[in-house]
Amino acid sequence: MPAKVVTITSGKGGVGKTTAVANLAVALAADGSKVVCIDGDIGLRNLDVIMGLENRIVYDIVDVIEGRCRLRQAMIRDKKLPELYLIPAAQTRDKNAVSPSDMNRLIKDLRPDFDFVLIDSPAGIERGFRNAIAAADRVLVITNPEVSAVRDADRVIGILEAEEKGPAALIINRLNPTLVKNNDMLSADDVLDLLAVELIGIVPEDESVIISSNRGAPVAYDTKSKAGQAFRNIARRLKGEQVPFLDLNHRGSVWDRIQRLAGRK
Amino acid sequence: MNETNSPIHIKGLRDGLLVSLDDAPWEEQLAALIAQIDAQPGFFQGARLALDVASQVLHVNEMVDLRDRLSERGIFLWAVISESPTTESTAQLLGLATRVSKPRPEESRQFSVEDLGEETALFLSRTLRSGTRIEFAGHVVVFGDVNPGAEIVAEGSVIIWGRLRGMVHAGSKGNRQAVIGALDLSPTQLRIGEEVAAALKPQDHPRPEVVRLDKDGKLQAETWKPA
């Protein structure tokens, strides 16, 4: 079966696109899928760092497109998962080095050999974003529960609708249940209420995400982390499984748990 | 841009160029199109192009070739319109649009209606997302939400059958009788005529409200009551 091409985008920068791509790639590959991820953020590459593959880069996506190497030469195999590959972005070029038709051609070559092609989109709605969505079968829009991130997500969803890229699915990243409970953060319902799209995952705020990103070992490997669990669940949903959403309030204080047991909450 | 002796007709659209070809052999058409582009590179550079290929049957390699040749010239091919189902499915396969009638909401839209009567209204049955701007020389009715970051500028009144959380300017040409109504009025900003009011607090229990200018020229919201 030809690969499903999934692009992860957000509009706003810094909401967790690259982290999500790395984690979904790890979760899908650990679950037996053949996965290749493409760093679409040419000029500001990051995905290789988060996946811990930075020191293995010889060729990059622009080398492939400009014919300086074969596609296979630019594909870096993951350290742990033999069915996971990365095509890194070029660091010394800019987004104009690639066109949407280049992306379409590249993806066409990848489709027969993989189950999933994950594309990490740059922030913004310009050329790099257009490249990243050009070949997508499915677009995941990621946002944080913050007013500015949600507004950019809304804009991106509007553009995707206009480009007839099918209904986008939403990942809400870095939700802090305690802040939500105290009405200091938008809740998942608030975000969904505004964006009115399908929800594919809620990832709780979790400092192990930062720690593991810095180590180059995505948190999806970490079976104890709630964020890792959330990403693994999103991966299963991408495969079409029905997975219930995590109960994020469950890790409350002892007093919370006693109250819940006593039926007071 | 129309050249009567050329088989290629070029027309400006709201969001790019529409180039129409006829049923002459594809190679000739392609060569003529490329020649025309190369003759006026400044005109085409950076353009968004929609191509109407009539009943030409195009397969993937031909369309990829076309797109690449355009892309080399700094032209972005975003749509191929055809009467041929084969061509249409090829275009879809390559992620191109197959019709151009659909408006692109992230761009500003200006509607000009000739001979506007006083009662002319634009009816929009969808949610206006961030980045959408609607301008209309009459009244505007939205059946859906107006999200933060969306803007409506109307010469007449504006009615939102939904949640108003963006910006609405009614009576933009100075009509101070214009009103703004919404089922849930939580806008970022409202304007009537020259007057401006900043964000109202989001409401826990939204009720339909209507905003008009009071006798002091201030925007005043009142709960809608059956007359």
B86 CA: distance to closest CA in chain A (Å): 19
Higher pLDDT, B97 or B162: B162
Out of B106, B127, B149, the one facing A162 most closely (by C-beta) is B106
Instruction: Assign B35 to helix, strand or coil.
Output: helix
> Residue B206 pLDDT > 80, yes or no?
yes
B-facing residues of A in 25-84 (CB < 8 A) are: none
Q: What is the CA radius of gyration of chain B?
A: 23
* CA–CA gap between residue A245 and residue A129 (Å, rounded): 29
Which two structure tokens, joined as six digits, stand for A32?
């037996």
Q: What is the CA radius of gyration of chain A?
A: 18
Cβ pair B64:A105 closer than 8 A: yes
* CA–CA gap between residue A183 and residue A226 (Å, rounded): 22
Tell me the chain A residues in contact with residue B186 when contact means C-beta distances shorter than 8 Å: none
Reduce the secondary structure of B86-142 to three states and give it as a string: HHHHHHHHCCCECCCCCCCCCCEEEECCCCCCCCCEEEECCCECCCCEEEECCEEEE
Cβ pair A158:B71 closer than 8 A: no
Out of A101, A135, A147, the one facing B68 most closely (by C-beta) is A101
Lowest average pLDDT, out of A61-70, A144-153, B55-64, goes to B55-64
> Residue A14 pLDDT > 90, yes or no?
yes
* CA–CA gap between residue A225 and residue A19 (Å, rounded): 14
> Residue A220 pLDDT > 60, yes or no?
yes
From residue B68, alpha-carbon distances to A94, A100, A104, B191 in Å are 19, 10, 11, 47
B104 CA: distance to closest CA in chain A (Å): 5
Contacts 24+ apart (CB under 8 A), A48-51: A48/A76, A48/A86, A48/A88, A49/A213, A49/A216, A50/A18, A50/A19, A50/A22, A50/A213, A50/A216, A50/A218, A51/A22, A51/A25, A51/A26, A51/A78, A51/A86, A51/A216, A51/A218
Which two structure tokens, joined as six digits, stand for A221?
């490997």
Q: How many helices (H) and strands (E) does chain A have?
A: 12, 8
Out of B68, B102, B132, the one facing A158 most closely (by C-beta) is B132
Q: What is the model's pLDDT at position B79?
A: 86
Cβ pair B106:A101 closer than 8 A: no
Higher pLDDT, B52 or A51: A51
For A107-149, write each residue's pLDDT tens digit.
999 999 999 999 999 999 999 999 999 999 999 999 999 999 9
Q: Is A192 on the interface with B (CB under 8 A)?
A: no
Q: Is A215 on the interface with B (CB under 8 A)?
A: no
Cβ pair B148:A147 closer than 8 A: yes
Question: Using alpha carbons only, what angle is made at residue B129 by residues B15 and A133, rounded to the nearest 5 degrees?
Answer: 60
B-facing residues of A in 140-179 (CB < 8 A) are: 147, 151-152, 154-155, 157-159, 161-164
Q: What is the model's pLDDT at position B43?
A: 79
Mutate to test the interface with A, among B92, B96, B101, B129 (most CBs of A within 10 A): B129
Only one residue has tokens 């180039």, namely B19
Instruction: Assign A229 to helix, strand or coil.
Output: helix
Higher pLDDT, B32 or B147: B147
Q: What is the model's pLDDT at position B171?
A: 95
Question: Using alpha carbons only, what angle is made at residue B14 by residues B21 and A153, rounded to the nearest 5 degrees?
Answer: 120
Confidence of residue A105 (pLDDT cuts 50, 70, 90): very high
Cβ pair A162:B103 closer than 8 A: yes
Mean pLDDT (chain A) is 91
Which two structure tokens, joined as six digits, stand for B29?
């058409």
> Residue A46 pLDDT > 50, yes or no?
yes
According to DSSP, the residues that pair with B219 across neighbouring strands are B213
